[in-house]
Each structure stands twice: as structure tokens, then as C-alpha cells.
Structure 1
Amino acid sequence: MAPKENRDPVDRMVDAYESMLERVDEMLEAAEKTTLPVLKKSLDTAREKAVELDELAREEAEKIAGCLERDMKDAAHFLSETGEDFRNWFRFDMQLIEGRMMEMFAKVADRTKLELDRFAEQAKEASRYHTGEITGPGTLVCTQCGKELHFHKAGHIPPCPKCHATEYRRQED
């Protein structure tokens, strides 16, 4: 891996998102209780590890942890509201998603689903995605013009290529 200062900042943020997700998955797998406090502690630990390993500055790590928490809450909300299969949350052919990341994300979302059910309404209102943030795989829809952006892996959210707006929502049925 190239030194932190020689890498593209967006690539560093996308890599950090995936690393934090992997760390949270590992910690939750080892945990006996699957409660929101365990999720929060796991996110905090993953964030601190990214800073400790000099992968990200503290402010960057805070931002990525917030994005990761938002995506996990959004996935858990989808599961609790629809009862559908997790793959429908992604809205595109599962073969396009790296198997390892899909497995980690599914495990984290499944573990947090029960506890996050009671936060479902808050999560729905708060699940707005903005230009400059990092998001996990899935389809985002521009809130201004309806243009869809498809993410096959974690990525940086750009301005809408059609109308240049900066706010998106996750595609719903």
C-alpha cells in the first residue's frame, strides 16, 4: 500500500470504508450480544484503529465511521420494513458485488437488525446521502431529478451527473 500522503484522498477514503467494515464485522462476530451499544463500540474501535494505523486523520475517520453507521442502519431498516432478502437492498445483480464484502455487510446488517428496528423511523429520515460522502454498494437516486447512480463497491458520491444536485436517497421499490 502506498504511503498515506502519496495516495488519492478518495481512494484512501474508499479503502478505509472497506477496512472499517471488515473490522466491525470481525468484532461483532466475536461479541456475544448483538446490541446497539456493541455496534457503537465496534464502530468506535474500528475508527480508532484507522487513526492509530495512520490510515486516516481523526476527522476523516469520524466521517467514514458516520457513513458506515448510516449504511448499516439503512440496510437494517430495509430488512425490518420489507422483510425482503438482503440482496434486494443492493438493487442489482449480486455477481457484480465482491463476495467477501457482501458477506461482511450482510452479517453486520443482520446482527444489528433487531436492535435497530426501534430506530427505523429515525434512520429513514436520516438516510440522506450527500456529494462528498462515501457509500457502500447499491443504487442512489438524486432527490432533484431522479438520476440513478449505481455503486458496485464502496465509492465516493459525486454531484448528480444530470442536474448537479448533491443529495441522494437509496432506491426503494
Structure 2
Amino acid sequence: MSDQAERLAQLYDQLVERLYKVRLEVEKTSEELDIDKEIERLVETEEELERVTREEAALLSQWMKRDLKDLRSHLASTEKGVKEWLAQETSMLSEQFMHWLRQVADPSLVDARTLQEDLDSREDPTLYHAGELAMAGLFACANCGKEIEVSYTHRLEPCHRCEERIFIRKTLDIQA
């Protein structure tokens, strides 16, 4: 992974951590947290501090919103957990990171109407594109089906088999 991609992946994880801390602070008050606006605020701060360019800030914001939207959708529609969404053993990930992710994306913390609007407005929530950052998980090439396992936040590369640039996140099918 290039230095820029590695830097963005680390920043992505740090932003998820900060989002979790903000949610904890808001939880102490009677206010509601607008996750999308908070992501924008956190990313804008990074841009103001000149840690990212305007283009990088836009990408980070888009990727975080996409991943959290996808996780909320998965939790709401399947009643399965983060482990199934990631399609890998959660032991591969930091326990603290998993905790932050669960807390930020817990659909019970999101207004039901907003969640439904998010779900209704999505064109295709399963698509990931080469060049985008994605959280750890298992992805399948939309063209040839080759599976690519990503063990940490990472920039997706084109399929090594067919050069396709579109991927679908795979989830574990755990029988109860």
C-alpha cells in the first residue's frame, strides 16, 4: 500500500474512534447526534489542520458514511452482528475498534425514520469501487467472483484476476 493510502487508512480509523468519543459525549446530554454531519465536521477539522487535502477529505467523508450506512442496513435487515458484516473473525481486529464501531453504528441509536430514508435512498449499497477505502472484510469481484480478504482498513485495488474495479462485500452466513 502506498504511503498516502496507508496514511488515509490510519486517519480513517482515527476518525471512527473520534466519532465514537463524540457519540459518548452527546449521549450525556439530551441532544441527538447527526452522524453524517459529525463525520463532515471531523473531516473538515482534518482539512483545516492541513492533514488532508480537500479531495482526500471528501473521499474520507464519503467512505465513512458509506461503511456506516452499510453496517446500519446490515444490522437492521439481518439482525446479525458486526462479525457477519465484516465476514471475518473479529479477533483479527482491535477489540477497542470493534467496540467503537458497534457503538457508532448501532441502529437503536439512530432515529428510525432517518434509517429508513437512508435505506430507501441507496442505489446499490453493496458496491465498493477500486481506489476507495474499505473497512476490513471479505469482498468479491463483481465480474469474476474472485474473493479478496482485507484484514484492516485498506484501499481496494482492482481485481487481480480480471482488473474489474467493482466489488461486493461478502457476509458470513451463520445459521442460528
Q: So what's the TM-score if we normalise by structure 1?
A: 0.86
Deviation at 1:119, TM superposition (A): 2.0
Partner of 2:13: 18
Shift of 1:31: 1.6
Deviation at 1:129, TM superposition (A): 0.7
Alignment deviations for residues 53-100 of structure 1 (CA, whole Å, 9 cap, x no partner): 322112101111100100000000000110112221111111111212
Q: CA deviation at 1:42?
A: 0.9
Residues 83-162 of structure 1 aligned to structure 2 (within 5 Å): 83-110=79-106, 111-112=109-110, 114=112, 115-123=114-122, 125-162=124-161
Find the counterpart in structure 2 of residue 3 from structure 1: none
Identity of aligned residues (%): 25
SS at the partner of 2:138?
A: strand
Q: Which runs of 4+ in 1 moved over 2 A?
A: 32-35, 111-115, 121-124
Gaps of 5+ in 1: 1-6
1:54 aligns with 2:50: yes
Residue 167 of structure 2: SS of its match in structure 1?
strand
**Structure 2 residue aligned with 1:41, among 32, 37, 42?**
37
Q: Which amino acid is the alignment partner of residue 76 of structure 2?
A: S
When the two chains are superposed, the root-mean-square deviation of aligned CA atoms in Å is 1.9
Matched, 1:8 2:3: yes
More helix by share: 1
Distance in structure 2 (CA, Å) of the matches to 1:134 and 1:102: 17
Counterpart for residue 82 of structure 1 = 78
TM-score, normalisation: structure 2: 0.85
CA drift at 1:34: 4.5
Q: Conserved in 2, the CA contact under 8 Å of 1:74 and 1:123?
A: no
Q: How far apart are residue 122 of structure 1 and its match?
A: 3.1
Q: 1:69 to 1:22 in 2, by over 3 A?
A: same
Structure 2 unaligned spans of 5+: none
Q: Which residue of 2 aligns with 1:4?
A: none
What SS is found at the alignment partner of 2:122?
helix
